Amino acid sequence: MNTRTSKLNSEFKRLIAEILTRKVKDPRITEMFTVLDVDCDKELSTAKVYVSVFSADSDKAAATFAAICENEPEVRREISKTMHIRKVPHFVFVSDTTQEYGQKIDKILNELNKKSNG
């Protein structure tokens, strides 16, 4: 990845998080979320946006993620107003569950550890 793409990914990540938090007024975004990473292709036509939603309620987490996805046009519009680039990519939001998966593995390992010590 070249430095320009890397800088754009970093700027997209910051702006997308800010726009979703401050400018998008969707009542379905009720849960806390984090934009973990942005991976833009070389042509700047599409960018994958990895988002993690934190919630004990899986239905609320799913609704929040769906609302984030549906607000992609507004995110693009806001970025085109803010950044001075010729072409704003289409953002494809991807639910990142690695943290959730890690917590599940930790729980299993703790249970196995308790059984072997008990």
Q: What CATH number does residue 104 fall under? A: 3.30.300.20
Q: Which two tokens stand for residue 29?
A: 């975004």
Give the count of domains, the chain: 1
Where do runs of H (alpha helix) occur along 1-118?
A: 3-18, 58-70, 72-82, 98-117
Residue 12 domain boundaries: 3-117
Tell me the per-residue pLDDT of 18-41, one tens digit each, with 9 for 90 and over.
999 999 999 999 999 999 999 999
What pTM was computed for the model? 0.81
Tell me the per-residue pLDDT of 90-103, one tens digit each, with 9 for 90 and over.
999 999 877 667 77
Q: Are 45 and 74 contacting, i.e. CB atoms less than 8 angstroms apart?
A: no
